[in-house]
């Protein structure tokens, strides 16, 4: 078992990567002087993975929402649930399902070894029966209905449904009441045995720990897994959007907007350099120090809740501007006009340098947070990215790099404005 030391000459820091004999990839990021420890155990399996094939076998299609459903069910066992076990160690535990991953996590200041054993045990111990699966349908059904009434949730998914015609990123992570009614123990075991193979998973621990401690627990708790080739299948996605505007009526104090720009996405996620360049560019475009933000604020078109993000995964990539405004259409037009002007006239050198320094500063500051470190390393493992390479890309970015990235992004013809207005 080789322990690979990953160093940053720029930061004079290091962490460790191990391919465990079980098949699991393990990262350990010791943080001197920290009293807390954070661990995340995740699988490269999310809501978009509803059609797949294993080892070139038959294609399997499962109900929408099953990854999220599986996350809920894994906490249960014949002897109780994992939260009751964590209560005895004092750890704060949670889990989440996104479009492309499912993760189980905890943080603690004491009893780290016992808490890590619990994490590795329950995630490897599925227990699904017809009765428990049916019981959960009502609980998750209520959760789905709650999100259906959430303006912030609906404004995003309405946008995604217009941006994407075929890709399952357009489908709610939890599925629908109708789709989860189709979930059976057999479906859950099929998905579990496919995606919860340790070769498809990652464990990342950061904070008050060391490699030897983590590996000794891994040796004790992990079951060896045979590698299997998983082929995620997606229908071919058109390069266009279905419509440029969508509106829904829900009770809101002020109209909400999501302006999304669809980017052509390949089978693999964007690399570290592209991600770093994108974050510099978006900071330059729409941070609270940008000309665009000041213009929108000066005209009383947005409030401090205005934000931006890049949402990307296997087969999808979207730049999103979101917020509240009494005139969403005007906000959208000003953003588009500003992007067009930037593409035509170029990026100001001084604005680029400010954005680069700020983005680099944020990246460095985030290394003070053990939960951020563990989460980003886990996510980067699933996307074949590496943390220090990403930070180096930001530090070494040039104006030409950012200009080239701008040319690939935010095509007005591939944009959707989603609005929620009061009834």
3-state SS assignment for residue 341 = helix
- Two tokens, residue 265: 């996405």
Contact criterion met (CB below 8 Å) for 312 and 318: yes
From 71, 272, 312, 314, active-site residue: 71
Q: φ and ψ at 370, to 5 degrees? A: -70, -30
Contact criterion met (CB below 8 Å) for 322 and 258: yes
Q: Which residues of 6-15 are buried (b: 16+ CB within 10 A; e: fewer)?
A: beeeeeebeb
DSSP string, 289-328: TSHHHHHHHHTT---TT-EEEEEEETTEEEEEEEEE-S-H
**Helix or strand run (H / E) with residue 194:** helix 185-195
**Helix or strand run (H / E) with residue 175:** none
113 catalytic? Reply is no
User: Phi/psi zone of residue 347: left (φ > 0), alpha (ψ -120 to 50 degrees), beta?
Assistant: beta
Catalytic residue numbers read: 71
């Amino acid at each position: 078992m080789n322990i690979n030391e990953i160093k940053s000459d720029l930061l004079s820091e290091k962490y460790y990567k191990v391919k465990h004999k079980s098949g699991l990839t393990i990262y350990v990021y010791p943080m001197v002087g920290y009293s807390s420890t954070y661990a995340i155990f995740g699988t490269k399996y999310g809501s978009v993975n509803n059609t797949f094939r294993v080892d070139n076998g038959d294609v399997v299609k499962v109900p929408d929402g099953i990854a999220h459903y599986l996350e809920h069910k894994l906490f249960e066992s014949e002897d109780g649930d994992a939260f009751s076990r964590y209560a005895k160690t004092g750890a704060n535990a949670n889990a989440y399902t996104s479009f492309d991953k499912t993760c189980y996590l905890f943080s603690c200041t004491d009893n780290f070894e016992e808490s890590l054993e619990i994490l590795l045990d329950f995630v490897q111990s599925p227990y699904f029966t017809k009765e428990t699966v049916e019981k959960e349908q009502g609980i998750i059904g209520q959760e789905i209905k709650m999100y259906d009434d959430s303006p912030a949730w609906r404004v995003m998914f309405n946008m995604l449904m217009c941006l994407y015609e075929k890709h399952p990123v357009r489908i709610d992570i939890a599925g629908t009441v109708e789709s989860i009614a189709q979930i059976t123990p057999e479906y859950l075991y099929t998905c579990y045995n496919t995606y919860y193979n340790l070769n498809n998973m990652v464990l990342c621990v950061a904070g008050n720990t060391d490699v030897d401690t983590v590996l000794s627990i891994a040796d004790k708790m992990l079951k060896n897994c045979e590698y299997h080739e998983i082929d995620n299948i997606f229908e071919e996605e058109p390069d266009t959007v279905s419509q440029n505007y969508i509106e829904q009526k829900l009770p809101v104090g002020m109209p909400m907007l999501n302006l999304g720009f669809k980017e052509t996405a390949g089978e693999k996620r964007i690399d570290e350099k592209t991600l770093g360049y994108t974050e510099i560019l978006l900071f330059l475009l729409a941070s609270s120090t940008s000309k665009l933000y000041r213009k929108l604020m000066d005209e009383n078109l947005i409030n401090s809740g205005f934000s931006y993000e890049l949402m990307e995964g296997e087969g999808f990539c979207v730049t999103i501007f979101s917020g509240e405004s009494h005139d969403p259409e005007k906000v959208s037009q000003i953003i588009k006009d500003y992007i067009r002007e930037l593409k035509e006239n170029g990026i100001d050198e001084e604005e680029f340098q400010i954005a680069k320094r700020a983005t680099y500063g944020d990246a460095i500051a985030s290394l003070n947070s053990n939960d951020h470190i563990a989460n980003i390393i886990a996510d980067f493992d699933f996307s074949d990215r590496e943390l220090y390479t990403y930070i180096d890309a930001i530090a070494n970015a040039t104006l030409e790099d950012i200009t080239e990235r701008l040319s690939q992004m935010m095509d007005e013809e591939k944009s959707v404005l989603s609005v929620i207005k009061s009834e």
